[in-house]
Amino acid sequence: MMWVSTSDSKSKSEIRMEQFQGQDSTPPSGSIDKSRVLEIRPLRCLVPIFPSQPNSTSFNTPQGAAPFVCSSPSGPFPPGAAPFYPFFGAPPGHNPQTPPGQTPPFRFNTPVSDAVPITSFRAPSPPRAGATSYHHSTAANGGTTPSKRVTRKSAKPQTQDGAAGEAGYVNFSMPVSDTEDTGNEKGSRTRSRKKGSTDPEVDNILTSLNIVKFDQARQNDGDRDSIEYVLLIFDLIRRKIAQIEDSKGSSPGVIKRPDLKAGTISMTNNIRTNATKRIGSVPGVEVGDIFFFRFELCLVGLHAPSMGGIDYLKVNLEEEPVAVSIVSSGGYEDDVEDGNVLIYSGQGGNLNIDQKLEKGNLSLKKSLDRGKEVRVIRGMKDVASPAGKVYVYDGLYNVEESWVEKGKGGCNVFKFKLLRLRGQPEAFTTWKLTQQWKDGIIPRIGVILPDLTSGAESLPVSLVNDVDSEKGPEYFTYVSSIKYSKEANSADSSSGCACAGGCLPGNQNCYCIQKNGGYLPYIANGVVANTGKLIYECGPSCLCPPNCKNRASQGGLKVRLEVFKTKDKGWGLRSWDPIRGGAYICEYAGEAFVYSKVEALHNDMDDYLFDATRSCPPILPSDPNEAPKMPFPLAISAKNIGNVARFMNHSCSPNVIWQPVLRTNNKESDLHVVFLAIRHIPPMTELTYDYGMVPPEKMGRRKKLCLCGSSKCRGFFH
């Protein structure tokens, strides 16, 4: 924002004289009335109001004073005023000319047509009766950079105080760049709101997803289905935006944040839930849920500030606010060693400034005084992305004690001791336990074999039984990939790419990129941008190296898995590591057969059979597409030879989906079936996929009782 004087023709002395002659002019020396107290307000308290008409830029000013205008960052600008873009490029249609001999202004972000404004976001849902719109800052920090608690000053400190609501509930909203705040404190209303983005390719994403909007009830009070839908939509949009941005290459000084763009689009299209801020549990959010981006916490109503570590509200107008949630992610001197006790450092200040009992610190103190529980989200290092974080919802805590002590920098720091409520599922303790197993600090109880694969995989796979005395599954030969017979091969060969240094996004000369519709199918961390379509990976015919980005499903396992004995479903599969939505988990290894032999395999009671001809329900309820289409019928039997995928159980509400991948080979078909995470999967969560439904003419085939326990359970599977 930039304040610009329009009195360019007047000298500074003339302006000062006119200002002194105004209604607040200073009396001559000797005539000052010292009993008169003037109300002096700092400039940061002034709230600029953008004009509603493009050509109307003047503010009302005192008589005789030079008129001032507040120019929008995107202009238009008065004569003589230069644009200033500390975070954005020039907006569409605006091309500021750089004077000869001068360097163009440095820009930190992409042009407005591509960028997400890091100013504020608003969901256009009206507040419920008796609640006040609750605003907060949203210069979001995603999973790619460490999070630090930041105390911000704003024109209206609305992040500090909510308003009186029913039973301690306050409705809050996130302003979006294309909305306008009317200044009404009883609820912001949207004058004009765009449904999409400024990028046609991103708008195509919204069209292809066929987004289902939530009604007011689901926005204010969610459920598990709402939570999963909101997070899935956000991640699908984020992954596609990342793919588009990768294809455009990088520019110096440009910071890509597809998570912020996806969050803005989600908010603008009302893809959010639990918009009603509350104390205690959040409907649909389960203890142990993980998040890779701070924006995800906001979209599901778990923690509103995108950067601040403490979220709080006013239960009523007469009392100070209480804390509703905190994020402990290593930015301050927190003590997080104990899984049930958290010593949390207050916010505000740094190593050279004393912290004050205000804002978030005051709200935690009031939560202590009033016995209000606080949601705790713990941020841990993301092993797959060293600069990133994984946020784990660890449940409800009580603030037991508070004090002030000297920090490492010698300044006063507020400390709060929080104790975890009993009877909640394990979350952070499970996370720490799996890390200790991986590091060899403590042994995994119930291990039968430390490595089921006998070295066939890049990472060991433990065989564990801590349920009964069974010593393991029936014998099979472990192989890490599919084995084809000659009759199963299809004449779908290709020559491959010539990218000796690896396939680069945006290289339209790359044969494999051309086969994938002009994009690399994978983004950072080996995540698939969009599932369903056949993926063409680089293969034996390509000149690119083994670490090429388009070989994400090659090179073995990427997460530490274990085969474990379940209580009622035989053997199952789960991971010690957190898994991102869209990430590669493993492939289905075994013997490939042509479809003519599938019936014989079924009749042979093969319980380890993957049949690609079955149909599966779509990931999204609104998705008209069914399961991925194979280039030719395929069945894989893992009865005699196979890998960890043979232990993955069926579920009617799975967290894993299968995906066909064709690797470029000029001699024969190289088709593989790989498994990807549908959504973020916490450690020690069983991995399941939908085995699919057989065609109607084969419905008489032997049925098996389904024990998935899902609310959407069909009762059986084939």
**Continuous H helices in 499-606:** 511-515, 598-603
What lies within 8 Å, CB to CB, of 630 at 6+ separation is: 534, 612, 613, 660, 671
Within a domain: 103: no
Q: Which of 302-316, 459-473, 697-711 is predicted with the least confidence, judged by mean pLDDT?
A: 697-711
At which of 425, 442, 459 does a domain end?
Answer: 442
Q: Is the pLDDT of residue 717 over 90?
A: no
Regarding whether 469 and 343 lie in a shared domain, the answer is no
- 600 plus 702 within the same structural domain: yes
Measured over the CA atoms of residue 450, residue 453, residue 455 and residue 457, the dihedral's sign is negative
DSSP 106: P
pLDDT at 416 over 90: yes
Nearest CA to 303 out of 372, 241, 374, 367 is that of 374
Please indicate, yes or no, whether residues 318 and 416 belong to a single structural domain of this protein: yes
Contacting residues for 124 by C-beta, under 8 A, at least 6 apart? 173, 176, 179, 189, 190, 193, 268, 270
Share of the chain above pLDDT 90, in %: 46
Instruction: Indicate if 432 and 461 belong to the same structural domain.
Output: no
pLDDT band at residue 668 using 50, 70 and 90 as cut-offs: confident
Q: What angle do CA 143, 148, 153 make, to 5 degrees?
A: 120
* Cross-strand partners of 412: 406
Ramachandran angles phi, psi of 598, nearest 5°:
-65, -45
33-42, 361-370, 373-382, 641-650: segment of lowest average pLDDT: 33-42
* Domain CATH code at residue 413: 2.30.280.10
* Phi, psi of 350, deg, nearest 5: -150, -155
Q: Would residue 268 count as lying in a domain?
A: no
Domain count, the chain: 2
Alpha helices in 471-592 (DSSP H): 511-515
What pLDDT does 300 receive? 97
Q: Which positions ≥6 away from 439 have C-beta within 8 Å?
A: none
Owning domain of residue 384: 306-442
Alpha helices (runs of H) in 248-357, residue ranges in sequence order: 258-268, 294-299
3-state SS, residue 277 = strand
Supply the pLDDT for residue 317.
80
202 three-class SS: helix
Asked whether residue 139 is assigned to any structural domain, the reply reads no
* Residues 619 and 522 reside in one and the same domain: yes
Read off the pLDDT of residues 45-55 as tens digits, 9 standing for 90 and up.
444 444 444 44
Q: Where residue 218 falls among pLDDT bands split at 50, 70, 90?
A: confident
Q: Could you tell me which residue, 659 or 28, shows the higher pLDDT?
A: 659
Amino acid (1-letter code) at residue 208: S
Confidence of residue 262 (pLDDT cuts 50, 70, 90): very high
Q: Which of 126-130, 270-274, 385-389 has the lowest mean pLDDT?
A: 126-130
Domain containing 654 — which CATH number?
2.170.270.10
User: How far apart, in whole angstroms, are the C-alpha atoms of residue 160 and residue 360?
Assistant: 8
CA nearest to 446, candidates 293, 535, 359, 571: 571
Based on the fold, state whether residues 387 and 482 are members of the same structural domain: no
Contact criterion met (CB below 8 Å) for 591 and 483:
yes
Taking the C-alpha atoms of residue 527 and residue 547, their distance in angstroms, rounded to an integer, is 15
Evaluate whether residue 18 is within a structural domain.
no
Number of Cβ within a 10 Å radius of residue 36? 7
| Sign, Cα dihedral of 718, 534, 385, 306 | negative
Considering the domain architecture, whether residues 438 and 502 belong to the same structural domain is answered as no
Does one domain contain both 392 and 486? Answer: no
* Exposure letters 88-116 (e unless 16+ CB within 10 A, then b): bbbbeeeeeeeeeeeeeeebebbbbebbb
The Cα–Cα gap between 718 and 701 comes to: 7
Structural domain includes residue 687: yes
H/E stretch holding 415: strand 412-420
Residue 135, domain member (yes or no): no
| 3-class secondary-structure state, position 82 | coil
- Separation between Cα atoms, residue 519 and residue 363, nearest integer Å: 48
Residue 376 shares a structural domain with residue 429: yes
pLDDT in the model for residue 611: 85
Residue 467 has which token pair? 């349920």
Provide the angle, in degrees to the nearest 10, between the axes of the packed helices 224-247 and 200-209.
150
What does 461-483 look like in DSSP terms, one character per residue? -EEE--SSS---SPP-EE-SS-B
Task: Give me the mean pLDDT over the 461-485 stretch.
Answer: 93
Same domain, 483 and 613: yes
Average pLDDT rounded to a whole number, residues 354-360 = 92
- Is it the case that residue 124 has pLDDT exceeding 50? no
In order of 471, 574, 619, 659, the CA distances from 681 in angstroms are 28, 10, 15, 18
Which has the higher per-residue pLDDT, 643 or 179? Answer: 643
Query: How do residues 23-45 score in pLDDT, each as one tens digit?
Result: 444 444 444 444 444 444 444 44
pLDDT above 70 covers a percentage of the chain that reads: 65
SS3 at position 559? coil
First to last CA, the chain: 62
CA dist 136 and 189 (Å) reads 16
Cα torsion angle, 694, 696, 698, 703, sign:
positive
Q: Residue 338: is its pLDDT beyond 90? A: no
pLDDT number for residue 108: 33
Q: Are 717 and 650 in contact (CB under 8 A)?
A: yes
Query: Of the candidates 442, 471, 491, which is a domain's last residue?
Result: 442
Six token digits for residue 525? 């961390």
Domain end (from 411, 442, 473)? 442
pLDDT band (50, 70, 90) for residue 299: very high
Q: Are 463 and 346 found together in one domain?
A: no
